[in-house]
Amino acid sequence: MARIIPGIRLWAVLVVALVIGACGGDSENTSENADQENTRLKVVTTVSPITSIVENIGGPRISLEGVVPEGVNSHTFEPTPSMAKLMAGADLIIINGLFLEEPTLALAESNKKDDAVILALGDRSVTPDEWQFDFTFPESAGHPNPHLWPDPNLGLRYAELVQDRLAALDPDNAAYYAGNLEIFRGKVEKMDQAIRAAVATVPEGNRKLLTYHDSWAYFAKQYGMEVIGAVQPSNFSQPSVREVAELIDQVKELGLPAVFGSEVFSSDVLEAIASEADAQFIDDLADDDLPGKPGDPDHTYLGLMKQNLMAMIPALGGDASVVAGLDIRNVFDGASGAVYPQ
């Protein structure tokens, strides 16, 4: 018979005990993580700038998922049937409103839980008297320009509304949400000051924007600029030959140094207008496509603002250096687990 050495027997018992203890610990930790995941508010958003604003307020204490892929036209985006399950599980559904995401709103309304809340940020941030109508969004159609967030002051209003709603639904974390809002407020205030300083360096006659898709109405009003036109008609088709000729004449008459395209709405027409009018064509403005990739430090709402200003201001003859040093990172450390569809 084999002889078991007492020391080895004791060592084996200790190893087994440690393994059992470790397994038990892992099981407890897994259970705790699952409990935390189950108790976090489930929040669904639409376009990525809104997702980023919500992420900055909720941080890792909410479960957050956007539905509109970055780089997709949010006006014409059609949610897939599989998104109905996502809507059905949400405690809070946050949209821009102002008629931007009508198919997504319809899906949310028909699938949400009875006690789930739909928060339309744009509808609560401006009154009908403050609605902006323009080339892509004519007043005759009855739908105002919904792109409020390029004005960071309105982006801050979005954040305040988000904080109010998160605190009401999750009072245990209300202080955390309020703290994040105040940090975010400080960042937005610095962004606002930098924009004003940068715009002031642009020659007054150059403070005019010709874009493909008019996302800049509220921004322009806030910072003393003027949107002189948008190439894309209200039905999102291509402009007529006559409309293009009129825009070329307008750019020549005003002596604009640059016209602006979009990462989402690429336009050979706008490039041709710039060429005919002897203006620079800037094709990398974005209104809902965050820079970089999810997880990158600049993949944020404020990162989007910075990227646009670094392209716009120099093209109009100004100095954007005051914008370059802004801290555009999220207000919290680490990752939140927010989902940005690509």
Contacts of 41 (CB under 8 A, 6+ apart): 58, 61, 62, 63, 91, 92, 166, 169, 170
Contacts of 20 (CB under 8 A, 6+ apart): none
Domain boundaries, the chain: 41-193, 201-324
Is the pLDDT confidence value at 73 over 90? no
Is the pLDDT confidence value at 309 over 80? yes
Is the pLDDT confidence value at 253 over 50? yes
Q: What is the arithmetic mean of pLDDT over 233-254?
A: 82
> What letter would DSSP give residue 342?
-
pLDDT tens-place string over residues 208-233: 999 887 899 999 999 999 999 887 66
Per-residue model confidence (pLDDT) at position 284: 83
Is the pLDDT confidence value at 316 over 90? yes
Per-residue model confidence (pLDDT) at position 240: 83
- Supply the CATH classification number for the domain 41-193: 3.40.50.1980
pLDDT tens-place string over residues 13-22: 434 443 444 4
Least confident of 68-77, 92-101, 176-185, 197-206: 68-77
Same fold: 41-193 with 201-324: yes
Assign domain 201-324 one CATH number from 3.40.50.1980, 3.10.580.10, 3.30.9.10, 3.30.1370.100: 3.40.50.1980
What percentage of residues in the chain have a pLDDT greater than 90?
Answer: 72
Q: Which tokens hold the place of 67?
A: 């539905």
Spatial distance between the Cα atoms of 12 and 15, rounded to a whole number of angstroms: 5
Least confident of 116-130, 229-243, 249-263: 229-243
Average pLDDT, the chain: 89
Q: What's the half-sphere exposure (Cβ side, CA atoms, 13 Å) at 201?
A: 16
Spatial distance between the Cα atoms of 251 and 313, rounded to a whole number of angstroms: 17
DSSP-derived pairing of the beta strands 208-211 and 226-230: parallel
Is the pLDDT confidence value at 10 over 80? no
